[in-house]
Amino acid sequence: MTALRETVATACRVLAREGLVSGILGHVSARTDDDELLIRCRGPQERGLRRSDPDEVWRVSTDARPVDLPDGFALPKEVHIHTALMRRRPEVGAVVHAHPPAALLYGLAGERVRPVIGAYNIPALRLALGGVPVYPRSVLISRPELGEELAEAMGSRDVCVMRGHGIAVTGETVEQAVVRAINLDVLLDLTVKLVALGVTPDAVPPTDLAELPDLGSAFNDQLVWRSLVAEVEAEDRVGLVS
């Protein structure tokens, strides 16, 4: 469990470095068994997601009750995003909740993703082909019923835009959920920029789609994850983040 705590904290640092979360908003969780998960909490030494530490990652039951939370620490108010998805979907091993600016613009613009990029980012293309559901309410997911409502809107998809708020992303592993969240951000950012430019490119034709390999493997996610962690650690080493 120590290693998984470390991974959850590292995921928060990666998401902050990549601009998907800023300040103290956003969280990552990882399932430990059928009834429990680990989640990034807020503690007395809170310094923001970029400076997340394994000592800020604590156990919570899938019905959102703290298991071992020390005095001075608090579960995220939106823990229900994580617990609802994990209760409903046994295949989900990790959840990312972030507030990327592109997701905010995307939801407010009422746009829909389209499969217009190819080899530039194949996982983002696959997300576009599958569609990105939008949870239409802008509320804080602070109650179990709201978590259920979000999970319902998300259905069986691994990604969801929460209008006026952010994103929820699932994965079998923390690494997969983080890499998927970053690819979703690429897709949403591209979509809102195309709208701003006033252009509507043609979709990638089926003949080109047929040429693109499926990079959605756990192996590929691990490669990307390792490069993201290396960037964070390099910054930390030279003291850009203390």
91 as an active site residue: the answer is no
Smallest CA-to-CA distance from 106 within 183, 198, 199, 194 is with 194
**66 DSSP assignment:** B
The least distance separating Zn ion from the CB of residue 204, rounded to whole angstroms, comes to 32
The least distance separating Zn ion from the CB of residue 3, rounded to whole angstroms, comes to 27
Q: Which is nearer to Zn ion, 76 or 123 (CB)?
A: 76
State whether residue 199 is helix, strand or coil: coil
The least distance separating Zn ion from the CB of residue 129, rounded to whole angstroms, comes to 27
Catalytic residue, chosen from 36, 78, 149, 175, is: 78
Which spans of this chain sit near Zn ion (rule: CB under 5 A)? 166
Distance CA 196, CA 185 (A): 16
Smallest CA-to-CA distance from 7 within 142, 124, 177 is with 177
The least distance separating Zn ion from the CB of residue 1, rounded to whole angstroms, comes to 26
- Residue 238 CA to chain centroid, in angstroms? 27
Which residues are bridge partners to 95 per DSSP?
29, 170
Going 242 to 189 to 106 to 173, the CA torsion angle's sign is negative
Active site residues: 78
